[in-house]
């Protein structure tokens, strides 16, 4: 029997089209109230000029423009307080949302589900963020994978194109309710400032996919920003995988890495604050005294400094340069990977907890299927290989000639390589003793 009135909760799925939970809400309800909550548990930790908050707010305005006089109810506060107010105001019979697999989101959703059950309201959540989730990709022994290649092979074995069928949620926008609460009208209502950001108009064309494969290691080319569209759900994973599956094994493998790191976080929530490999728990890290030189792009190594300045200026950084800047902080400066991970989390437009954590632990050698601890990228040889004409470096380092003349390298690459290897060896020897 159709619900008279249901509520759909937007989170990491800011789109009307191909939205699993929204489609289910429309199918099971005569009328649906869409809501979005600016969660103070998250916002209270952010800078008031955070670009991502501006991005989300403007995206919500764009979605509102597509539904005329009906609007998304944009709320502000702790989710349980907002839900308590909504459920006391409207005679809601069910709540629909898409699953989120981060530890905070899991506990948040559990609290909202309990609140709904106390009031006799159904709570439904659906897989939308990934093709496979939780326990859907397991080894023959029924255990989660901790190595990417066998996970990827099992993913491909279990995959079929029927899983990419689009949910026709956009065809039922007439079911959106006109019922409203007082809604957030501007960023100032939540104590934030409108902050400029860059977002390319991403189109999933065969040409763009093939270009990705050809230039993904070259920082001189702009990033596709596809990761931002995925992070906030402007595009669905199904539509991206559909194009990648047909035209680009390279992009598909990257999307499977995203899924792999998500299931690592799901099964091993301790990785948020500890190494995946517990034998690296007691690495003797250097003082963070010089970390601001890294953050500000003043290390004296052009490709590192260009990457950090790009991050600070735009919220983006080319994928290869992310790897190089992370390796430099951890291996050459000897600074705890968690401090770098935290800084990326503060700055990246496409910040995703599972991917950010997984990639930092990969570089640090502490994660699942990680690079060995003695693999240390040389920023000079990497710059010569991937930015030989300094096009990328000069783009983000103002007055490059003056920089090159006056900025001394803050570390000796050969010496810090030796020190890094010894640091890891000491840790492993201490674990054995």
Query: Do 75 and 35 form a contact (C-beta atoms < 8 A)?
Result: yes
Do the domain assignments include residue 171? no
For 238, how many CA atoms within 13 A lie in the half-sphere containing its CB? 16
Query: Are 120 and 19 members of one domain?
Result: yes
What are the φ and ψ backbone dihedral angles of 7, each rounded to 5 degrees? -120, 135
Residue 140: exposed, middle, or buried by beta-carbon count in 10 A (0-12, 13-18, 19+)? exposed
Residues 31 and 74 occupy one common structural domain: yes
Residues 102 and 229 in one domain: no
Whether residue 294 sits in one domain with residue 224? no
Residues 364 and 388 placed together within one structural domain of the fold: yes
Is 30 in the same domain as 143?
A: no
Which of 327, 285, 277, 330 lies closest to 426, judged by CA?
285
Q: Mark which of 104, 129, 154 sits at the end of a domain.
A: 129
Provide the b/e sequence for 231-258 (b: ≥16 CB within 10 Å). bbbbbbbbbbbbbbbebbeebbebbbbb
Q: Looking at the structure, do residues 229 and 339 belong to the same domain, yes or no?
A: no
Q: Do 288 and 404 share a domain, yes or no?
A: yes
Residue 344 in tokens = 């990326």
pLDDT tens, residue order, the chain (433 aa): 667 999 999 999 999 999 999 999 999 999 999 999 999 999 999 999 999 999 999 999 999 999 998 999 999 999 999 999 999 999 999 999 999 999 999 999 999 999 999 999 999 999 999 999 999 999 999 999 999 999 999 999 999 999 999 999 999 999 999 998 999 999 999 999 999 998 876 665 656 666 677 677 778 776 667 899 999 999 999 999 998 999 889 899 999 999 999 999 999 999 999 999 999 999 999 999 999 999 999 999 999 999 999 999 999 999 999 999 999 999 999 999 999 999 999 999 999 999 999 999 999 999 998 778 899 999 999 999 999 999 999 999 999 999 999 999 999 999 999 999 999 999 998 877 5
Nearest C-alpha neighbor of 328 from the set 360, 350, 352, 358 = 360
Instruction: Kindly state whether residue 36 falls inside one of the protein's structural domains.
Output: yes
The per-residue pLDDT for range 359-410, each reduced to its tens digit, is 999 999 999 987 788 999 999 999 999 999 999 999 999 999 999 999 999 9
- Indicate if 140 and 257 belong to the same structural domain: yes
Residues 1 and 83 in one domain: yes
Last residue of a domain, one of 267, 288, 315: 267
Instruction: Show Cβ contacts of residue 119 under 8 Å, excluding neighbours closer than 6 positions.
Output: 87
Which two three-digit tokens encode residue 154? 């099992």
Separation of alpha carbons 326 and 371, rounded Å: 12
- 280 Cβ neighbours under 8 A, 6+ residues apart: 364, 365, 366, 424, 427
Q: What is the pLDDT of residue 201?
A: 67
- Is 175 contained in some domain? no
What is the model's pLDDT at position 373? 87
By C-alpha distance, which of 283, 30, 319, 310 is closest to 172? 30
CATH number at residue 262: 1.25.40.80
Helix (H) or strand (E) holding 6: strand 3-10
Instruction: Tell me the two tokens of residue 369.
Output: 């299927």
Q: How much is the pTM?
A: 0.94
What token pair was written down for 340?
A: 């770098």
pLDDT of residue 218: 79
The stretches of 167-248 forming alpha helices (DSSP H) are 206-215, 226-231, 237-247
The CATH number of residue 105's host domain is 3.40.50.620
List helix spans (H) across 1-65.
20-28, 40-43, 51-65
Is 76 contained in some domain? yes
Per-residue burial over 27-53, b = 16 or more CB atoms within 10 Å of its CB, e = otherwise: ebbebbbbbbbbbbeebeeeeeebbbb
Distance CA(340)–CA(321), nearest Å, equals: 14
- The per-residue pLDDT for 12 is 97
In sequence order, which residues have a C-beta less than 8 Å from that of residue 184 and are 6 or more positions away? 38, 57, 74, 75, 76, 190
- Domain boundary among the residues 267, 287, 312 is at 267
Nearest-10 Cα torsion for 265, 267, 272, 277 = -110
Does some domain include residue 276?
Answer: yes
In a domain, 11, yes or no: yes
Q: How many domains does the chain have?
A: 3
Q: What is the CATH number of the domain that holds 295?
A: 1.10.579.10
State residue 1's pLDDT score: 60
Task: Give me the residue label for tokens 């099964």.
Answer: 267
- Determine the structural domain holding residue 72 and report its residue range: 1-129
**366 lies in a domain?**
yes
* Cα atoms found within 13 Å of the Cα of residue 327, Cβ hemisphere only: 26
- Asked whether residue 182 is assigned to any structural domain, the reply reads no
Is there a single domain that holds both residue 7 and residue 146? no
262 lies in the same domain as 298: no
């Amino acid at each position: 029997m159709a619900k008279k009135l249901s509520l759909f909760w937007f989170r990491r799925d800011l789109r009307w089209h191909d939205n699993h939970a929204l489609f289910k809400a429309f199918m099971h309800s005569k009328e649906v109230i869409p809501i979005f909550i600016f969660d103070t548990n998250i916002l209270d930790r952010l800078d008031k000029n955070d670009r991502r908050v501006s991005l989300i707010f403007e995206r919500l305005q764009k979605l509102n423009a597509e539904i005329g006089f009906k609007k998304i109810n944009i709320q502000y506060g702790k989710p349980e307080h907002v839900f308590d107010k909504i459920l006391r105001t409207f005679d809601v019979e069910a709540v629909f949302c898409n699953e989120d697999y981060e530890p905070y989101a899991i506990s948040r959703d559990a609290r909202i589900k309990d609140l709904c059950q106390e009031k006799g309201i159904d709570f439904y959540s659906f897989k939308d963020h990934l093709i496979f989730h939780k326990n859907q990709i397991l080894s023959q022994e029924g255990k989660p994978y901790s190595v990417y290649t066998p996970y990827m092979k099992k993913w491909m074995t279990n995959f079929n194109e029927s899983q990419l069928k689009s949910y026709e949620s956009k065809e039922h926008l007439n079911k959106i309710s006109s019922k409203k609460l007082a809604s957030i009208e501007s960023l100032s209502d939540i104590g934030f400032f409108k902050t400029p950001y860059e977002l390319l108009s991403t189109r999933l064309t065969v040409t763009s996919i093939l270009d990705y494969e050809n230039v993904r290691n070259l920082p001189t080319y702009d990033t596709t920003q596809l990761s931002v569209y995925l992070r906030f759900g402007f595009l669905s994973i199904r539509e991206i995988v559909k194009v990648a599956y047909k035209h680009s094994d390279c992009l598909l493998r990257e999307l499977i890495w995203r899924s792999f790191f998500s299931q690592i976080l799901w099964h091993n929530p301790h990785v948020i604050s500890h190494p995946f490999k517990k034998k690296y728990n007691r690495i003797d890290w250097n003082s963070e005294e010089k970390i601001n030189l890294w953050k500000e792009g003043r290390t004296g190594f052009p490709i590192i400094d260009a990457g950090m300045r790009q991050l600070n200026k735009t919220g983006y950084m080319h994928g290869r340069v992310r790897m190089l800047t992370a390796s430099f902080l951890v291996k050459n400066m000897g600074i705890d990977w968690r401090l770098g991970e935290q800084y990326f989390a503060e700055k990246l437009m496409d910040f995703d907890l599972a991917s950010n954590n997984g990639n930092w632990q990969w570089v640090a050698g502490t994660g699942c299927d990680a690079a060995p601890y003695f693999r240390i990228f040389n920023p000079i040889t990497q710059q010569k290989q991937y930015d030989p004409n300094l096009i990328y470096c000069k783009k983000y380092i103002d007055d490059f000639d003056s920089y090159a003349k006056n900025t001394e390298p803050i570390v000796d690459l050969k010496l810090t390589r030796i020190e890094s290897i010894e640091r890891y060896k000491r840790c492993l020897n201490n674990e054995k003793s």
